[in-house]
Structure 1
C-alpha cells in the first residue's frame, strides 16, 4: 500500500496532518475540523479526474471507519503518511493509540513484542521533531507572511507556509520535476518526491521517485535576525536525520505485517470453528441438515434482518439465492413487500412459488424438512377491508391525486381517501411547508392517505409521505401500510398531520393556525370537485379546435390574444419570483393566501419603520435612508420565515435571505403583486377552461370572449394611431435603465365602466406597464386595482394607489421584458382632479391624508420628463403629452415622473399597446 497520498497508485492511502484552516469537515460526524487540529485523510482514486480525492476525519471517526475488518483497514502508523512530521506529543499519542510503544508512565515490562525496535529510534525521532518544529515556530514568530514569501522566492519554491519551508531547510529544496518541469514536487515522509497540486501545476504528471540534485537552502542576507543566528547546519552535520525516515518505516512495517498475519490466523481459526459447529449440528440432525437441498429468496427486509435470516438458513444446510427460479422452495417476505410489488414477487406469481413469512423457516427446521407452506402464506393485510370503503369512493379525481413520485406500478389501483366525517369531506392529502431563515431550512412535507381498489392493494390503506428541500431533488419518500378500517386509517393520518403542524385534523382546516417550529398548511391538493383535475395554469394545454383564432377574430386581435393568454408568460413570471410550482401548483393557491403574505409584509414594514400598527389616516414618512435604531434580527428572521412559508420559494441549496431592508421589502411587495395577479388569473381560468372545452371555438378565442372587455384595433394610418405613436416615442433624451421598445399594435379597450366626472376635472392620458401574466386579470376587471388593505403603505413610493408615467419607455420597464420579447403597456386616462401634489422624495399618502390639502393625486418628480409645449387635447378634454423627453435633475430618486391617484375609479383603461423590447 502506497504511503504517498498523491502518488499515482490506485490503492487507498491514509495521511495525517494539521488542518491549515477551519473550512474542512469530518465525513464521519459531519462536524467542523478546527484549524491546527489533527485531521486524518483517506485518499481514494477520483472518478472525475486523474489523481486522488481525500475525505477528512477526526481521529475518533477515522479509527472507526479504518478499524481492522473494515473495507479500508489502517493497521498502524506505518500506513499513515505524515506521522513523523507531527509534534512529538501528537506522534507519541498515535504510537500509543495503535499500541506500538509503551505509554508514558507504563511499566517497561508491558507485553509489546516490538517495543524494543522502537526504543533505539526514540532519541532520533524526538530530536528531529524538536528541530523541525522549533524551526517552524521560529519562522512563524520572527517572520511576517510577506517575509515567508520572500524566503520562498529566494529559494525558487511556491509554498510559503512555515511547515513547508522548515522541511526545505532540513532536507534541501526539491528540484524541478524532471518530466514536466513544474515546481509541484513535494517531499514525502520517505524523502521521495511526488507531484501534487492542481492539474494545471502538473498534477497529471506521473513522476514519483528519489530527488535528483536537491538544492541547498539559501538564507538571504535580509533574513530576520532570529533566523540568522540559527542556521541548523550543525544539527545536520552527522547525517543522521537524512536516513531517519527510512529506518523508522522499516521498523513500523514489521508491525503492520505482524498484524495482517494475526488477522489471517484469526480468520482461519474462525472458519475452523464454523466448520466444527456445522459438523456438530449435522451430527445432531443425524448427518443431514434439515434445509439441505432447499433454496430460498429473501425479498425486502425481514424482521430478524437479512444477515441473521441468511445465517440461519445456511447453518441448517439451505441456500439463499438472488432470483426466483423453478427450484426455489419459497420466497421469504413481509406485508410491506406485498404493497410494493417487485420482480421477485412477480416471478414467484408466474411460477406458483409460495410467498411466506420467515416463521416458515423455523417450522421447516423444527420438522427437519420442507413443510406445507399454506399456513404461512402471506396475504394482503385485511383483504376483507374492501367492504369498509364506501361505494364509489375511487373516483377519477381520487385516482388522479395520487402523488406523481410513486411509480406507475405503485400508483395502479390506488386512490386518495376523503374524510367523510368532516364538513365538506376534505381529501386526506395536504402539502406542508416550513422555512426558517436562521437555520437555512426550506422544507416541504407531502402527506396522503391512500387506499387500494383492486389487486394486492384491494382494501389496503397506506400512508404516503414525501419530504425534502423546496426546489431541489434533495429528499425522500415513504409508503407505509396502516390500519385496514377507514376510521382507524384516518386516525393514523390525523396523528401524523398533528405531529407535523401542531393542529388537530378533526377541528377542520378553516381553523388552521401556524404553530412555532411546526409546518404550515400550504394547500389542500387538487380541487374539491369530482371532475378531472384541472391542469396548472403554468403548464395548461387543452385540445385545439380545428378552427384557427384568426378565422374568428381580427388577425391583429388574434395575435395579441395569443400573447396575453400564453401560459409561458405565467411560467416566466413564476421563475423570476422563485415560486416552486412543483411543490405548490399555482392552481392551488388562493387570494386569501396572498392576503396573508401581504399582512406579513406589513408587519415587516412596521418592524423596519420601528412604528406601531398604523391607522388609515397615518402619514408616516417612508425614507430609504439608513435607520437610526437597529431592528432585532430575530424578529426579521421570524417574519421572513413566515413569508417564505406562506409563499414557498425555490432557493435551491442557498440560504433563504432575510428581508432586512426597505429595498428588499419593496422587491418582495412587487413580486407579491405579480403573484396576486397570477392567482386571480388562475381563479378566473377555471370557468374559461370549461367554456373552452365545451365550445367549438379555439381555446384562446373562447377565453377571450369570456372577458367583459373587447380589443378594437386602431387603424394604422389614422390620426389616432399617429398621436399614440408620437406620445409613446417622443424622442429627446434617453432615460438610463429604460430599454428601447417598438410598437407592434395598438388597441382600444371597450366595455370599461365610465366614472362620474368631478367638478374640477383634469384628465391626462398616461402609461402603465405590467407583466404579461397580469394582463388577463386587468382586462377581466376592466380597471387597475389598488393594493389591498393588508399591504403595507411603506412598500410603495407614494402610498397605495394607481401609478402611471408620462414616459412610455419608463412604464414599459415594469413589464420586465427581455430583448426580443413581446409585452403590453396600457394607455390610462387618469383623473387628477386639480393640480397634483408635487413630491420629490418618497412619502406615503392616502385619500384621507390628501383630502385636507384638497388634492386627489400626487406627482413624483423624476430626473427626466417630457416638455409641455407639445401637449394636445382630445375632443373629450384629455391631455396627451407629445413633447420630447429632457433631462431635468439626475439627482432625483425617480428616473421619470410618476402620477398617482388613490381611487380606482380615477383611472380608466383606454388603450393597450403591444410592444417588442429591442434591448
Structure 2
C-alpha cells in the first residue's frame, strides 16, 4: 500500500487533520496513510493540499496512491512541489536549504530524552543532534517529531540518517546557539561539506548528449500521458455533468462489467470503458473483474475461497463498449464511437504494487531490482581476504560496513579462529544475538535470500531471526530504518499480554475484555454453546485478523449480552462491543446473524462449514475447565518418597512455562490458542497442508498455489507476527520448521492432558510419575556402568559441535511398561547398538508414556532425509542438538536406546525410504566421521556401545553426511534403557 493518497474530495464533510477546517467537495486533497488502531488495516488522514506539505515528507510522486488518476495540471503541481517536473528538483541552493530544515542541533533541556541510535539517555545540557521523523505512527498522526541522537552516534550513522559528507554542519537549525568550542568539535566530526558534490540522489551531470536523449524520451512519455489524461477526464467530466449514476450502472451491466461502489469509482470505470473498451474477464481465474491500478489492470476475483487471484496486466483483452440507442438523449453518449486504443502506463511506478506476499526465503530487500544486501549492516572481523576486499564485495551487493555491533547489525563476518578466541566483536555479537558468518556467505548470497543464507552460514549457537532486524535502508524514496520499523511494531505491541487467563464456566470461557467474566457465562441451549473464535489471514494484504463472538447470560439470570471483539493477532489493534439483549432468544438470534455475516455460513450448518471468499473461518478451540486443574501440579509442598533426582525430572518434564516458551518460539498465538486447545483434527489438517506445500515445491507450483495453502495454514494454526506480514510458506526450510512446530504441538498436547486431573489427595509428583508408565531409577554415580556412559558422552562429542560442552548431571535406568514384550522378538536380531536420541524436554511426557513414535501419515516428507522413521546417532552431540537448549535454558534430556539394526541399508546421500529393500532391517546414513570401532564395548547380552573417539571413516569419504545416522521404521525395534539429564555448558 502507498504511504500517501491523493484524490478529489467526495463531499464537503471531511476535516483537514492539519488546520481542522473542512475540505470542500471536489477540491484536491492528500492523505497520510496510517495504521488504524481499531481494525487490521490502514486509514487515510486527509489534509488540504497546502496543509499536507507541512506534515508529511513525500520525496517522489510514486509514493502517492491515485496520483495518475488526478487531472494533468494537478499531477504537475505535485511534481513541482516535490522537486520540479520530472523529479529533477529546483536549484541546488533550494534543495540544500530544504534538506537542512530536518536537522537540528542543540543542548538537552533535561536528561529525559533517549538517543535513537544506542537507546541510552542523553544527559542534561549535553550537545545533541536531531533528524525529524515523518514516518513513525506518531509522526503520521500528529506531525513531524524530533528524533535526538548523541553527537558521536549521529556521526557514526550519518549515511543512514542521510547527512552525507557533502553536507555542511553549519547549516543545521540551531547552529547559531551552539557554543564556539562545540562548533569547532562538530565541524571536525561532520565537516563543512565537500565542495562540488551534489546531494545523494542528484546525479552528477553526464554528457550533454545522454542528458538530451533522456529528456527527449521523458518528454515523449509525458506528452502521451498528458493527452491520455485529458482524453479520459473529458469523458469523466461529461459523464458527471450529464449522465445519472443509475444510467452509468445500467451501461456497465449491459457491457458485462461489475458495478463498483461509490460515485467516484463509478465515473472512473465508465470513463475507462469509453476511452479503451469493456474489459473481458480474467484469463487466469476465468470469472474475476479486471480493474485499473497505476501499475496495470488487476483481477478482483479469487482462485479459491481462501485466496485472491494475482493476475495483473497492462494489456488486457477488451471489446467494444456499446451504448444502446435509448441512451442517445445525452449528447456525450449519442456522439460516442468506440475506437480501439491501449492505455499508456508510466515506465516508473512504485508504491502501488508493494503489497505482494513476502517469501520466507527472502527479506524485503530481496525483491524487485534491489541488491541482495541492500540496507544491511555488517561488521568485519578476522577474514582470509583483506578488509578492503570484503568491504568492496559487501558494498557491491548493496550492504554497508559499520565498526560496532548493534541490535540492527545483519551479521559479523569472521572466521572460526576468531569465534574460538572470542574477540570483542564475537562477544558483542553474542550479547546482541547477532549471527556470525564466514566470508563464503558473500558467494552464496549473490542471487538473494540473505536471511536464509545468514542462518545457513552461521558459525555460532546464537542468532535471532535476521528478518526481524533486516529492513530496507532509510532512503529518500521512503524506506524505513531498522529502528523505525521496530518502533512502529512497538507502538501496537508494547502493551500486549503474552497469554490470557480464561475463566471457564460450563463449557466455555468468558472473554475478560467483556468485563463480565465474574458475573456471566456463555449461553448454552439444546447442547449448543454460543461461542465462536474466527480467523482470517491474507498473506498478500498482510492481514492476520481475528473475530470473537459470545452470547452471554448473567449468572443470576434475567440479563443477556452479545459480546464481540476484533483486531489483529498479537497487537493492540482492534476493539470490542457489548450489547444488551432482551431475552435468551434475542441474544441467540443476534449471535447467529453475526456469525452468518462474518463467515457467510449459517450457524446450524457449521459442522459442514464452507469457506467463503473474504470471510472468516471458525477455529476449533476447546476452552475446557482445566487451567485450575493444571495449577494443582504445585510441587512446593510435595511429600513424595521418590528419589530426589526423579522428583526433579518429573518437574522438568511437566514444566508448563517450558511448554509456553516452546509455543512462543514457533510464533504461536497463546492468547487465541492456549496450551493444548487446538483440536487434533485441526492439527492433522495443518499437516496435510504442509504435505501439499511440499508437493508444490517438488513440482514447481505457482505463487497463487503457495498463497492459497499458506493462507489456509495460518488460519488453522493462529500465529502471532505482530505488525509483520505473514511470510509465504515456500521453502523446504520453513516447511520443515512448521512440521517440527506441529510435532511439538502434539507432544505438548499429550503432556498437558496428563497434567489435568489426578487422584484427589495424592501427591502431585507421585501422581504424574505414575502417568509416565515408566520405571525410573537413578544410577549410582560411582558404578562402572555410570562411568562407561559418561565416557560414551565425552568420546563421541563431535568436533564441529564445539559451541557447548556436555556435563552428565544424572543417568536414570528406565523401563517402559510393555516395551520389553514388544522388543522381545528383535532381541534375537544381530547388530544391536546402544544409540542416542535427543528431543525437547517438553516432548518427554509423550515419549515416556507412549514411546518413540513415527511421524503421522499426514505429515510432509520434508526434513526426513531417509524417510519417516525413528532417527538415532552414535555421536552424542548430533542428537544433543535436537534438545533445542540455549545458554539461558541449558538443561536437556537424552535417551540411550538399544536399537535392533540387523542388516542396514547403507547410504552415502539422502534417499527417501518408504520401503526397505528385501533383507534389510534398517537404514544407515554413513558419515565421514564416526566412533573408533576398536573402542566399541560389547555388553554381556551381545549389544554394542560404539563409545570410541570420533575418527575419519574411509567408507564415508564421499558421503554428504558428517556423522552416522541410524533409522528404524518399526517402533518395536527400539528399547529405551537410559535417560540422561545433561547440562549444556555453552562457551559463547
Q: Report the TM-score, using the length of structure 2 for normalisation.
A: 0.52
| Secondary structure, counterpart of 2:528 in structure 1 | coil
Q: Counterpart in 2 of 1:650?
A: 720
What displacement does 1:827 show?
0.7
| Secondary structure, counterpart of 2:558 in structure 1 | coil
**2:627 pairs with one of 530, 535, 544:** 535
Report if aligned partners of 1:590, 1:679 keep a CA contact under 8 Å in 2. no
Cα distance, 1:226–1:602 mapped onto 2, change above 3 Å: closer
Report if aligned partners of 1:738, 1:813 keep a CA contact under 8 Å in 2. no
Report if aligned partners of 2:553, 2:559 keep a CA contact under 8 Å in 1. yes
**1:879 pairs with one of 911, 934, 944:** 944
5 Å-filtered alignment, 1:58-207, equals: 59-61=28-30, 163=90, 165-167=92-94, 200=154, 205=174, 207=176
| Secondary structure, counterpart of 2:681 in structure 1 | helix
5 Å-filtered alignment, 1:216-227, equals: none
Partner Cα separation in structure 2 for residue 586 and residue 813 of structure 1: 25
- The reply on whether 1:709 has 2:808 as its aligned counterpart is no
Partner Cα separation in structure 1 for residue 587 and residue 8 of structure 2: 38
**1:520 pairs with one of 617, 620, 624:** 617
Q: Counterpart in 2 of 1:664?
A: 734
Report if aligned partners of 1:536, 1:585 keep a CA contact under 8 Å in 2. no
Partner Cα separation in structure 2 for residue 666 and residue 873 of structure 1: 37
**1:438 pairs with one of 540, 562, 566:** 540
Cα distance, 1:223–1:516 mapped onto 2, change above 3 Å: closer
Report if aligned partners of 1:826, 1:911 keep a CA contact under 8 Å in 2. yes
Cα distance, 1:561–1:177 mapped onto 2, change above 3 Å: closer
What displacement does 1:183 show?
12
**2:751 pairs with one of 669, 681, 684:** 681
Partner Cα separation in structure 2 for residue 73 and residue 801 of structure 1: 63
5 Å-filtered alignment, 1:25-424, equals: 25-26=4-5, 59-61=28-30, 163=90, 165-167=92-94, 200=154, 205=174, 207=176, 397-398=505-506, 401-407=509-515, 410-420=516-526
Report if aligned partners of 1:856, 1:901 keep a CA contact under 8 Å in 2. yes
- The structure having more radius of gyration, on CA atoms, is 1
| Secondary structure, counterpart of 1:606 in structure 2 | helix
1:815-874 per-residue CA deviation (whole Å, 9 max, x = no partner) reads 10012521100111111122x11222222112xx21x43212111223432121111121
**2:810 pairs with one of 734, 745, 754:** 745
Alignment RMSD:
4.9
Q: Counterpart in 2 of 1:487?
A: 585
Report if aligned partners of 1:830, 1:906 keep a CA contact under 8 Å in 2. yes
Report if aligned partners of 1:398, 1:417 keep a CA contact under 8 Å in 2. no
Cα distance, 1:401–1:671 mapped onto 2, change above 3 Å: closer
Report if aligned partners of 1:739, 1:813 keep a CA contact under 8 Å in 2. no
Partner Cα separation in structure 2 for residue 169 and residue 81 of structure 1: 19
What displacement does 1:485 show?
3.7
Cα distance, 1:197–1:453 mapped onto 2, change above 3 Å: closer
Partner Cα separation in structure 1 for residue 985 and residue 531 of structure 2: 47
**1:776 pairs with one of 825, 834, 845:** 845
Gaps of 5+ in 1: 1-21, 31-39, 45-57, 66-70, 88-96, 98-102, 105-125, 141-161, 187-194, 210-214, 230-394, 528-532, 611-629
- The reply on whether 1:499 has 2:594 as its aligned counterpart is no
Cα distance, 1:60–1:632 mapped onto 2, change above 3 Å: same
Work out which structure has the larger RCO, using CA pairs closer than 8 Å and 6 or more positions apart in sequence. 2
| Secondary structure, counterpart of 2:982 in structure 1 | strand
Report if aligned partners of 2:934, 2:948 keep a CA contact under 8 Å in 1. yes
1:757-787 per-residue CA deviation (whole Å, 9 max, x = no partner) reads 2464321110100001001111111x20101
Cα distance, 1:517–1:879 mapped onto 2, change above 3 Å: farther
What displacement does 1:706 show?
2.6
Q: Counterpart in 1 of 2:356?
A: none
Q: Counterpart in 1 of 2:824?
A: 756
5 Å-filtered alignment, 1:427-826, equals: 427-454=529-556, 458-482=557-581, 484-507=582-605, 509=607, 511-527=608-624, 533-535=625-627, 540-542=630-632, 544=634, 547-548=637-638, 551-610=640-699, 630-686=700-756, 689-691=757-759, 694-697=760-763, 699-730=764-795, 734-736=799-801, 739-752=804-817, 753-754=819-820, 755-758=823-826, 760-781=829-850, 783-819=851-887, 821-826=890-895
Cα distance, 1:716–1:636 mapped onto 2, change above 3 Å: same
Report if aligned partners of 1:557, 1:711 keep a CA contact under 8 Å in 2. yes
Partner Cα separation in structure 2 for residue 496 and residue 913 of structure 1: 54
Report if aligned partners of 2:660, 2:675 keep a CA contact under 8 Å in 1. no
Report if aligned partners of 1:794, 1:844 keep a CA contact under 8 Å in 2. no
Report if aligned partners of 1:431, 1:525 keep a CA contact under 8 Å in 2. no
Report if aligned partners of 2:17, 2:46 keep a CA contact under 8 Å in 1. no
Q: Report the TM-score, using the length of structure 1 for normalisation.
A: 0.56
Gaps of 5+ in 2: 10-15, 21-26, 35-44, 62-70, 108-126, 133-144, 155-168, 179-191, 198-203, 212-502
What displacement does 1:447 show?
1.2
Partner Cα separation in structure 2 for residue 169 and residue 581 of structure 1: 51
What displacement does 1:643 show?
1.2
1:352-377 per-residue CA deviation (whole Å, 9 max, x = no partner) reads xxxxxxxxxxxxxxxxxxxxxxxxxx
Cα distance, 1:440–1:197 mapped onto 2, change above 3 Å: closer
Partner Cα separation in structure 2 for residue 766 and residue 86 of structure 1: 63
Report if aligned partners of 1:598, 1:791 keep a CA contact under 8 Å in 2. yes
5 Å-filtered alignment, 1:834-853, equals: 834=903, 836-846=904-914, 849-850=915-916, 852-853=917-918
Instruction: Give the length in aligned residue pairs.
Output: 581
| Secondary structure, counterpart of 1:60 in structure 2 | strand
Report if aligned partners of 2:908, 2:958 keep a CA contact under 8 Å in 1. no
| Secondary structure, counterpart of 2:838 in structure 1 | strand
What displacement does 1:571 show?
1.4
Partner Cα separation in structure 2 for residue 28 and residue 887 of structure 1: 71
